[in-house]
Chain A
Amino acid sequence: MITLKDVHFSYANNIEALKGISLTINDGDFIAIMGQNGAGKTTFIKHFNGLLKPSSGTVHVNGVETTKTSVAMLARNIGFVFQNPDNQLFSETVEDEIAFALKNFGFDKETIEKRVTWALDFLSLTQYRKTSPFLLSGGERKRVALASVLAWDPETLVLDEPTIGQDHEQKEKLRQFIMQLQAKKKTVVMVTHDVEFVSECNPRVILIRDGKIVADGIAKDILTNSKLLKESSIVLPQIAQIFTKLSPLGLPADIIDLDEAETVILSKAKKEA
């Protein structure tokens, strides 16, 4: 469980990036953090594992205040996958890359071996075990980065812009993968711009603007609120766009899911006929 109480944060140049954020993330939550560039999303999530410490206010992870412990300690519970895998890959083989964190955390040899094998398998990377991560494609490198974090089985997974540069199929794989983690009762927090991806995943959405939380609720409510999204320079998901235009027909406006859209339109058509 992660609890933030009235968190303010200013950078060295006195720019206040977070202006009083209070929030509780419960175990097993699936959260999408949205907002335009510079709204403070990345600053916000870096508070979860102590990479940044609040200027005022408190952040507690499982009851421990982040100022009273180290990033390494917090990282055991909070796995953080950065946007660009190239910012972390450095090992000679994929296997070593995945073992890196496990060694840092002092796991014994046998456990490391077991966990690496598991992570490789979970992300279908087994065939690349002895390959250099630098020879892999962009999508595969992203998966190695993910595997290297999942390997130590953190309770919470934080994903920064996981869909950037990914094609349709890779996004679908990612979505299924998050669902699997959800089934294992893991907490997943992702920062993203990708409204379509969010509307497909249907998480709890937290909207940040100018260092403050301006909305916190289910995807269906937030992603169909065109006024709210416009203020954050976010475009409506396609299905929501369609239903906004269809408002003269008196159809429900809070629809982001394709199947639901179909059902609603078909029943309306039946009524008309």
Chain B
Amino acid sequence: MSVFDGLKFRKVSSPIHNLDPRIKFIYVIAIFISAILFHQILPLAILLLIQLPFVFLARVQKQWIRSLRGAAFLATFIFIINILTKFFYNNWTLTALDIETAIGMTMRFIVLVESFSVFFLTTSPDYLGLALEQSRMPYEFSFAFTTAVRFVPVLAEEAQTIMDAQKARGLELEKGNILKRIRNYIPILIPLIVSAIRRSLELAEAMESRAWGAAKKRTNLYLLKLHKGDCILISVTALILLVTIYVRLFLFSSIPLMNELISRLI
């Protein structure tokens, strides 16, 4: 309950959630590559804006903004480091161009973070597990993934119960110096580990009882098929890549800088 609710996955349905995770992943990689190819503000801003229809179609605005906020700290850090290095490097002077480059670097980071967070925000773990199962990876790998998703919240809840049980026996976690505090966690870790081992044994038993390892080739209840949406996304991805490569090869030097644009306006 309570704190660990966030870990429990629930099925969500939207045009974006229903896309094949594999295609979505290729899209993310495409955005990733594009972001690395540019350092100017304008193309990076476009890459950032491209994500918006995704976010709105999937109705994950709130979570998206939250992840943006999460990235804000690191982004600020990157910006400051950039400014400071330029500042020291150029003998304590700072040009408008320097600031623009720093903003560009920061935006690149944000684009990278955001494309991945869109992927994880809109891909439910069961779908991801399925995609893993149907890629060429060994089944054990995807099984380990889904089992982890399944049991992390269960173990988190158990950890909470164990903590309550030991606190009820007078254990004070926050008491003592740093060494003592680490030792305070022993009565929590041991039951947790023992229970995880017991659980895994029971799981193994249940798996054996359901014919684990019977056929050389496992089949699958679901088949991931490409739908219309997936085809659209493939086309969009291809288009983004083509435009990116074209601009990078032939128009790279003529991408207008922000301070040129601003000075032209003035």
Main secondary structure of the interface of B (DSSP, over half): helix
Once A75-B169, A101-B170, A104-B170 are accepted as A-B contacts, the answer to whether A87 and B158 lie under 8 Å apart by CB is: yes
A217-B193 Cα distance, complex, nearest whole Å: 42
Whether the Cβ atoms of A82 and B168 lie closer than 8 Å is yes
Check if A88 is an interface residue, CB within 8 A of chain B: yes
Whether the Cβ atoms of A89 and B191 lie closer than 8 Å is yes
Contact of A11 among B1, B162, B195 (CB under 8 A): B1
Whether the Cβ atoms of A101 and B169 lie closer than 8 Å is yes
Whether the Cβ atoms of B3 and A86 lie closer than 8 Å is no
Once A87-B158, A87-B162, A89-B191 are accepted as A-B contacts, the answer to whether A105 and B170 lie under 8 Å apart by CB is: yes
Q: Interface residues of B, CB < 8 Å — how many?
A: 23
Contact of A86 among B1, B167, B198 (CB under 8 A): B198
Contact of B190 among A82, A90, A101 (CB under 8 A): A90
Check if A51 is an interface residue, CB within 8 A of chain B: yes
Which interface residue of B1, B165, B198 has the most chain A CB atoms within 10 A? B165
Check if B202 is an interface residue, CB within 8 A of chain A: no
The residues in B between 156 and 200 inclusive whose CB is less than 8 angstroms from any CB of A are 158, 161-162, 164-172, 186-187, 190-191, 194-195, 198
Check if B254 is an interface residue, CB within 8 A of chain A: no
Contact of B194 among A86, A101, A148 (CB under 8 A): A86
Whether the Cβ atoms of B186 and A90 lie closer than 8 Å is yes
Contact of B161 among A49, A87, A89, A104 (CB under 8 A): A87
6 contacts between A and B (CB under 8 A): A12-B3, A13-B2, A79-B168, A87-B161, A101-B169, A101-B170
Name A's B-contacting residues (CB within 8 A): 11-13, 46, 49, 51, 70-72, 75-76, 78-80, 82, 84, 86-90, 100-101, 104-105, 134, 148-149, 152
Query: Known pairs A72-B170, A78-B168, A87-B165. 17 more at Cβ < 8 A?
Result: A12-B2, A46-B164, A49-B168, A51-B168, A72-B167, A75-B167, A80-B168, A82-B161, A82-B165, A86-B191, A87-B191, A87-B195, A89-B191, A104-B169, A104-B172, A148-B169, A149-B169
